[in-house]
Structure 1
């Protein structure tokens, strides 16, 4: 995307945030929930082929739009352009990679510098990161978040009081929502090997869902080879939407489709054919625990 077009989109979408037009509550019908994309632009195009074009379909993306893949700029700017064109039909929430610190290490910063000859686009994008919602609530029944829960949060109202207009902190409630993971072998809360957030067990999920009168939690943040994974008696589901993650993991991807009655269907898809993409001669960022 040309520099002037990209900066125009970034300025327009920021004005939407500033005028308060980006809410956290989502109403059906026709909603599809998507997990991590990680700069895999051509695979995101496959996602839209499977789920349907916006605005015919409402989309909720659970964060981690950038880093790892070769096309983080194109991925994020396309989603923002769709947000500008159809503000009520696409919702973007923040992932742990929507962070200045993380993107300077895992690809997005370098990609912006390489493609535009300066880091101005990176700065504009990271400014937008600070305005992304931390969670979304679908029909008051499905709590959607990038990572998971926090020992500092027991109600949805507490999430709404967080000042999200900041860099992702290293600890605290905001950090936990973007970094935490469910874990079968944990009873209650445990330390996370990621170095941020927590591991949390089934009892934590049961208590949170009961307290907030929600059916289940939908989150992303973890690679799932089958595209999606239920845990704790269907009280929480992980959705992963980057097929063949980092162009080498061999996994399929999934999106979660909901109808007007909250009936759900997972749509599984493969990576885009190699001939439809043009991968630069550059290796993805190194492995890590994020």
Structure 2
């Protein structure tokens, strides 16, 4: 079997935003073509009005999405539950299938590999282009594994994606659930947390009453569906709140945790800051608990109706941080699929 052409994966994934929904359908498999996504006759390039190279996953031979996912799974096997990352690095929050806004994020923060990134999960669901979003990030991870770290969010889950859109999107674009199954295998391998210069912890949701030290996170068996309760569940579901210690979460999973819990965890583990995502912040980011914790949100105009700004957090070193704000790409510059009734928003 020929090796993966990672450069071509990245380039096609980057350009798929120009394509209308109809070009994302599966094409018939043709014998003897190792790369079905090449330009058609008479087409000199890829533009907004004459799409030539369709989106990465639906147009490649069906074995290739599986090969990309398998390739990335092998890379993720080598990563720790608490993956060490060095500054300078840029930390990003939820994306939720907003592919055009992911591209705007890269225009704001710099392209991979020039910029080193940590994405704190929730790549899929609710947005129109979860498949393209996740595929693009996987292609970048495959090409530059040391320049992009992908953490698991609560939406990187079989159960959640069957409710909030990603499963249905794969069914629509492929006519079957195979691509979804390949991606869920990657979900299981995504790391839980990242540790920047041993002093800044990045995690999707928050803390757990079962976790006192980083070493306890390192012992979690992450290669599984996210459990309904326990430490793993809490790390991707919990939220900071103005409570004394712990309180029941209205989400039905994870916990609400307060300043005392945060300060104790930061002190025990010699941390300066906890970075997390998981909650919409209309201003793009929000510090809490004497700036011991920050929420970063990277999906502007969330669900295409919330009107919020998005942000990324740039760390030049552990003592120097700079939020960068960006807005959603205008509707005039994005392809919007035909409007259908969906239960996924908010």
Separation of aligned partners in 2, 1:118 and 1:183: 41
Q: Contact 2:113–2:147 (CA<8 Å) still a contact in 1?
A: yes
Question: Which of 29, 33, 40 is matched with 2:91 structurally?
Answer: 33
Q: Give 1:261 deviation, angstroms.
A: 5.1
Q: Contact 1:3–1:116 (CA<8 Å) still a contact in 2?
A: no
Question: Which of 305, 308, 328 is matched with 1:271 structurally?
Answer: 328
SS at match of 2:314: strand
Q: Which runs of 5+ in 1 are unaligned?
A: none
SS at match of 1:130: helix
Question: Which of 148, 151, 161 is matched with 1:90 structurally?
Answer: 148
SS at match of 2:317: coil
The aligned counterpart of 1:194 is 251
Report how many aligned residue pairs link the two structures: 285
SS at match of 1:32: strand
SS at match of 2:295: strand
Alignment of 1:124-273 (within 5 A): 124-184=182-242, 186-260=243-317, 262-273=319-330
What whole-Å deviation, never above 9, does each CA across 1:63-120 have from its counterpart, x for those lacking one? Answer: 0000000000000000000000001000000000000000000000000000011100
Relative to structure 1, the CA distance from residue 12 to residue 62 in structure 2 (aligned partners, 3 Å threshold; closer, same or farther) is: same
Q: Give 1:279 deviation, angstroms.
A: 1.0
Separation of aligned partners in 2, 1:87 and 1:283: 38
Separation of aligned partners in 1, 2:96 and 2:261: 29
What whole-Å deviation, never above 9, does each CA across 1:206-252 have from its counterpart, x for those lacking one? Answer: 00000000001000000000000001110100000000000000000
Cα RMSD for the two superposed structures: 1.3
Separation of aligned partners in 1, 2:343 and 2:198: 38
SS at match of 1:125: helix
Q: Contact 1:66–1:98 (CA<8 Å) still a contact in 2?
A: yes
Q: Which runs of 5+ in 2 are unaligned?
A: 1-55
The aligned counterpart of 1:24 is 83
Alignment of 1:48-63 (within 5 A): 48-63=106-121
SS at match of 2:286: strand
The two structures have a TM-score, normalised by structure 1, of 0.95
What whole-Å deviation, never above 9, does each CA across 1:130-164 have from its counterpart, x for those lacking one? Answer: 00011110001101000000000000000000000
Q: Contact 2:153–2:204 (CA<8 Å) still a contact in 1?
A: yes
Q: Contact 1:246–1:284 (CA<8 Å) still a contact in 2?
A: no
Separation of aligned partners in 2, 1:242 and 1:205: 25
1:110 equivalent to 2:163? Answer no
Q: Contact 2:79–2:191 (CA<8 Å) still a contact in 1?
A: no
The aligned counterpart of 1:74 is 132
Q: Give 1:7 deviation, angstroms.
A: 2.8
Separation of aligned partners in 2, 1:130 and 1:67: 17
Separation of aligned partners in 2, 1:106 and 1:223: 16
Q: Give 1:284 deviation, angstroms.
A: 4.9
1:120 equivalent to 2:178? Answer yes
The two structures have a TM-score, normalised by structure 2, of 0.80
SS at match of 2:299: coil
Separation of aligned partners in 2, 1:87 and 1:273: 31
Q: Contact 1:60–1:92 (CA<8 Å) still a contact in 2?
A: yes
Q: Give 1:283 deviation, angstroms.
A: 4.6
After alignment, is 258-267 or 154-163 more displaced?
A: 258-267
What whole-Å deviation, never above 9, does each CA across 1:158-180 have from its counterpart, x for those lacking one? Answer: 00000000000000000000000
Q: Contact 1:252–1:269 (CA<8 Å) still a contact in 2?
A: yes
